[in-house]
Structure 1
Amino acid sequence: MLVFYKERLAFLAVPKTGSTAYHSALHDRADFIVTGPPDLKHAPVRRYDRFFQNIFRKMYGTEMEIMAVVREPIDWLGSWYRFRSRDDRIGHPHSTRDMTFDEFVQAYMKSPRPDFADVGSQSQFFRTRSNGFGASHVFKYENQDKILNFLQDRLNMQINLQRENVSPQRELALSPETERKFRKRHDAEFICHDAAH
């Protein structure tokens, strides 16, 4: 999470949407940086509003506009699957090394989810509190030019991004049946992505 006080902007870090690269490029420019623990670094809209936004309301009588990035849902799960197949995850309960992407997505649809597939939900990340505000600026991960242009305009600076946190390449094939079930069961994820810029 990055907060730019003068510009009244909070950049929330949705997991697996390239936030690490933006953190690295902008940490010297931000007024408030949260890099850990993960529950705070990746604080969803509700948690940000309840704790962080409240600080700005109570102490300074202002609010930050929220921006975040959302990734196409199957691609997002593919990123988690690849990330959890790293060599340093071998033997860990989160490892996806010995399974197919299809098996991973099927596990994601179970309730409760097994540990390796328990990666949260982008649509839940954007849920608001009953009296809270949502994200003002939500960008599709695939529209990196729009994200970069928005930030460069808002922060009045040139941003040089480097690729970071790159996961191993893996086959990301889904059977038509698994994809159909996922799209039906998790349609809120696609609605969330479709609504972004």
Structure 2
Amino acid sequence: MLIFSEQNLVLFSVPKTGSTAMEVALKPWADIAFYKHRKHTPVGRYQRKIAPFLREAYQLEPETMAVIRAPLEHLRSWYRYRAATLDVDFDGFVQAVISPKPPEWARIGNQFDFLTGPNEKLGITHLFAYETQPILRTWLNARMGSEISFKPQNISPPAPTPISKTTQTAFETHYASEITLHTQVIEASGHLISEW
């Protein structure tokens, strides 16, 4: 998570959405940076702990921004990241993730829960689709007043990720809210603007 006082903006680092590359590129403009265990602070915790602090200590009520990735591709990225230590194919990984009690290696959370606060309300002012990078970069260039470029970071080795129709159907049911949110961003030309 990065906080920019001049730009009145908070960048949320959603895991497996290119957040590390964004943070490296944008760090020169940030006044406050959260790393390690607090890097991936979700919206709910931000609203409870950090937003009140920013308001009381610095009189800041910043807009927020984040990136969401196509949900199945998001799981594929997680699988590639962990594949070397797993004795399961991608289909089995997805089944484990959506099971009632996922094993430790399949507890990856989900983007919808990360991006929403109480009552499942979106807590992001500017939500961008991972798949529309030019839209994101153009917006950041204007907001930062400078040309922003991302350099790939933390690239996982390739791994096969086939999925059966049965598992994909179960995944789509389990991830319905996240799929709907991602679709809304895509339908908003890759940049969904909301007031929370």
Separation in 2, partners of 1:122, 1:85: 20
Q: Which residue of the partner structure matches residue 111 of structure 2? A: 122
Q: Which residue of the partner structure matches residue 152 of structure 2? A: 163
Question: Contact between 1:12 and 1:66, CA under 8 Å: does it hold in 2?
Answer: yes
Question: Contact between 1:49 and 1:133, CA under 8 Å: does it hold in 2?
Answer: no
Q: Percent identity?
A: 36
Q: Return the offset for 1:56.
A: 1.6
Supply the AA of the counterpart residue of 2:30: A
Q: Which residue of the partner structure matches residue 17 of structure 1? A: 17
Q: Return the offset for 1:19.
A: 0.5
Q: State the 4+ residue runs in structure 1 displaced beyond 6 angstroms.
A: none
What pairs with 1:43-82 in structure 2 (closer than 5 Å)?
43-82=41-80
Separation in 2, partners of 1:133, 1:185: 19
- Give TM-score scaled by structure 1 length: 0.89
What pairs with 1:73-92 in structure 2 (closer than 5 Å)?
73-86=71-84
The count of aligned residue pairs is 185
What do the CA deviations read for 1:6-33 (whole angstroms, capped 9, x no partner)? 1110000000000000111111221111
Separation in 1, partners of 2:79, 2:107: 11
Which consecutive unaligned segments of at least 5 residues does structure 2 have? 191-196
Separation in 2, partners of 1:109, 1:3: 33
- Give TM-score scaled by structure 2 length: 0.90
What pairs with 1:171-190 in structure 2 (closer than 5 Å)?
171-190=160-179
Q: Which residue of the partner structure matches residue 89 of structure 1? A: none
Going from structure 1 to structure 2, the CA distance change for 1:133 and 1:187 (only over 3 Å counts) comes to closer
Going from structure 1 to structure 2, the CA distance change for 1:81 and 1:106 (only over 3 Å counts) comes to same
Q: 1:102 aligns with which of 91, 96, 115?
A: 91
SS in 2 for 1:68: strand
Q: Return the offset for 1:85.
A: 2.0
Question: Contact between 1:45 and 1:126, CA under 8 Å: does it hold in 2?
Answer: yes
Q: Which residue of the partner structure matches residue 90 of structure 1? A: none
Q: Which residue of the partner structure matches residue 92 of structure 1? A: none
Q: Which residue of the partner structure matches residue 4 of structure 2? A: 4
Q: Considering only aligned residues, what root-mean-square deviation do their CA atoms show, in Å?
A: 1.4
Q: Which structure has greater helix proportion? A: 2
Q: Which residue of the partner structure matches residue 39 of structure 2? A: 41
Separation in 1, partners of 2:49, 2:146: 29
Separation in 2, partners of 1:53, 1:62: 8
Separation in 2, partners of 1:6, 1:62: 10
What do the CA deviations read for 1:35-86 (whole angstroms, capped 9, x no partner)? 112xx10001111111111112112333111100001010000000000124
Q: Which residue of the partner structure matches residue 30 of structure 1? A: 30
Question: Contact between 2:115 and 2:122, CA under 8 Å: does it hold in 1?
Answer: no
Going from structure 1 to structure 2, the CA distance change for 1:133 and 1:184 (only over 3 Å counts) comes to closer
